[in-house]
Structure 1
Amino acid sequence: MVGVKNILIIEDDFFIRDLYQKQFTKEGYAVDTAEDAEIGLEKVRSGQANLILLDIMLPKMSGLDLLKILKAEAALQNIPVVMLTNLGQDNAIKQAFDLGAEGYLVKSAYTPTQVVQEVKGYIK
């Protein structure tokens, strides 16, 4: 579909992943998901993501390690990455922005509808 924006949600918690997938789909976005950073990286490399929502606490590889990889690859570095996590500590937030995250949302501070509204500003 022409004009549809694609979002990749990388989140290990099925309930949260499903919740945000449904919310973004309801708002007219095409949504793909991954349950860990390695699968997420494969999907980013082979897909058409306009934005990545990325959790920090993931199995196998952390979201921050994945962010570092994404921003180091020329073909992927311009895809906006918004961290969506429960880690609200200043050092985690600073590290995410230092690595190139465009946004940082603490899950418990936003409803799914508010997350969609926040993310709209980052989608290219």
Structure 2
Amino acid sequence: MDKEQRKKLIVLVEDEEIIVNLLTNKLKKVGYEVKAAYDGINGLNLIRTAKPDLVLLDMLLPRLNGFEVLEKLNKEKILPDLPVIVISNSGQPIEIDRVLKLGIRDYLVKINFEPNEIIAKVNRVLGRDEVECGVRDKIEKERISGQALLVEDDIFISDLLEKKLSQSHIKTFRAMDANSARLILTSEKIDVILLDIVLPGVNGIEFLKEIKANEKLKHIPVIILSNLGQKKEIEKGLKAGAEQYMIKAHSTPNEIISKVMEVINKLDSRI
């Protein structure tokens, strides 16, 4: 394949599998090839052999940390020619300054970024046209079997569930808090709500009570997704009007989607 036509290769060095899966899917969706390594030594070897167009590098890695990987790349004179974007849990100025001196192109703090922000930075570093990316990212229209509102402030969980819901032909609207969810509920026909309890501002239980007190919204089934698994919390959620109460740590994404489909199918049978 001609070099101009081949897909740009990105090496992702990250030890958290959920992040690897999310970013790999996002990057492939917009036309990149992705190879991943889960520790510093394998990551360094992969960079040497695969000769990528760009590297996404975590700092806290087993066997060889991100700093050590960068130092070796610098000594081997692979840096600064190879574009590297660092993804880390730390946003300390001293750390940022240290990696910038080693020749990286950009830096993201895990707690603050969204996957789409990484895509934008990758595109910018590699000089890709946003219009081209938009065309690649265009999804073929499929039959929509329902519309879900996902009220969840954990970006990674939201990304994962949105992907799974899309695969089941369910269109997903996302909100990180009650205020955003209210706006969506006033403008969209929602068939089911997936609701976290611990949210910024109004908590999930209070927002659930608000929904059930609203004549226009009270018919919408609500599935609570929470890390709070005590009997008291479950009873509180069901008493407030939840159709189901699912504990995140005990529920796989497929089990959550199954419950959503079950609820939507119930609605269809009533029509």
> TM-score, length-normalised on structure 1?
0.93
Residues 1:100 and 2:98 are matched in the alignment: no
Which of these residues, 18, 22, 29, is aligned with residue 19 of structure 1?
22
Residues 1:8 and 2:46 are matched in the alignment: no
RMSD: 1.3
User: 1:6-48, CA deviations, whole angstroms, 9 ceiling, x for partnerless residues?
Assistant: 1000001111111111110111000000001100111111113
1:64, distance to aligned residue in structure 2 (A): 0.9
1 or 2 for the larger relative contact order (CA 8 Å, sep ≥6)? 1
CA distance in 2, matches of 1:69, 1:18: 27
Residues 1:122 and 2:125 are matched in the alignment: yes
CA distance in 2, matches of 1:23, 1:38: 25
1:3, distance to aligned residue in structure 2 (A): 3.2
1:96, distance to aligned residue in structure 2 (A): 0.7
CA distance in 2, matches of 1:100, 1:48: 17
| Runs of 4+ off more than 6 Å | none
Structure 2: which 5+ runs fail to align? 128-271
> TM-score, length-normalised on structure 2?
0.44
| Alignment match, 2:204 | none
| Alignment match, 2:39 | 36
| Alignment match, 1:84 | 87
| Alignment match, 1:70 | 73
Identical-residue share of aligned pairs (%):
33
Larger radius of gyration: 2
Q: How many aligned positions are there? A: 123
Q: Read off the aligned partner of 2:50 and give its amino acid letter.
A: G
Q: Read off the aligned partner of 1:35 and give its amino acid letter.
A: Y
Please state whether the residue corresponding to 1:119 is helix, strand or coil: helix
